[in-house]
Structure 1
């Protein structure tokens, strides 16, 4: 994950609620209540709301790794995952803290992280989300996920400031070769190379991101730019092409609105196709970008 979380909607609501009332009691959780960390340095598990999100999650992540558990009482996987995360946090000796967020009580936090399903777990270091996963995971896989975060981002934490820098990992020669193709202008060759890597490594997020971007650019460049003004209102293909051209021209809000307008006036297969295309366009951006968050609200309104 890259880019800072957009806190504006959370800050505004927090400030308004602080003035109107005192902080509400933490909501109930399927996981055990937050105990002290193994070294007694502080709570290993904390419950967070929109009011104290910035303080308890973003600011705290400047000092230690914060793992955010977006949970809900109605989500069966949360009942399995949340207790496991709480126990691992308590065993970590204060190395990291678990911040639990009830998405029903604090929906804007889930919205800021672009949560598509619950539970969702996000790791923050230095005020930035650095990794995430969805759904219940085996304990050993979670331990490996945490170890990987400390290996790649632990140097950003104060406790590691004085440590000798770790050697940079050797670059993947396949990724280097694919990048060279892209830099030389061979977009088709680069796309094939990245797709081949992704076929062998479905979890390679870097290759997946580049494939999405190259597929979009290739498709968008094939459209006639005039489609933006010439597309007939009822021509779904033309309207989707116009959205591509607008996005390629650095006008994401206009691109999203164009597809949302199609969703509003179509049904069945055409609506499903337009919705799928809009979600593809969302995936090209950090889900916390304000214009993505705003477009997701508009999409929800158009659908329901």
Structure 2
């Protein structure tokens, strides 16, 4: 996971002036005014809309606001979103989470360039920070959130939220709910990734999938850690040189496609492999097909770029 990039100005990047600055029920506008003695909110979790989002921009002047963009049509998002909620709860009020339905809020979807589901971004001091797309392993998400808090501290955004109790008083004594333990094989994979033992992580994920072929997080995790294993120890310059020198070689093109996926250049990776596909022999075509299926899991099967690439692959196969 790369370092959190410096923020840019959301109001300048996309015109939000048409958004009505009207607090909806449950939004934090009243409590979030700068200079107030304490930051008290009804919850750490909110629903963001085109109509109420300016409230969260204001809130981000005091506490980092994590933005989770998804759709109920996405099974991957519905599985990933509770993970994000659990992680936010574990930071004891140092983060607030806002969920956005991309189907119902086109302006925010455009503002955050949400071409994949889930897309996770943040607001710090009124400015957006793009974090990641797709379902990322939990330990990597936690690392990103810790980096986000460091960035927030550098920008003077260091308040902590006190959640309002049933009687309207701040519930300052409440502890975040303990995180449920990971399934044993997932925990084994994360520990292996932390120590750089990608082969052990691959074995753990494969075992998890063998036990439950519907374990979507294990399928995505296997694709992601396999990518890390393939790139480990390789020079980007050498991989690109090899691909340039052998434009019809499947292995050389797969190496650069791995680089592109790891760097977020999704469409470049898809186009490279789909363009070389017709010129390959049967073995090369199978290697490319298999690798593309891994990429689809990494990017997210609901991503429109995946749908487009999948259709193109099907036309080449049939």
Does TM-score exceed 0.5, indicating one fold? Answer: no
TM-score w.r.t. the length of structure 2 is: 0.42
More helix by share: 1
Provide the TM-score with structure 1 as the length reference.
Answer: 0.43
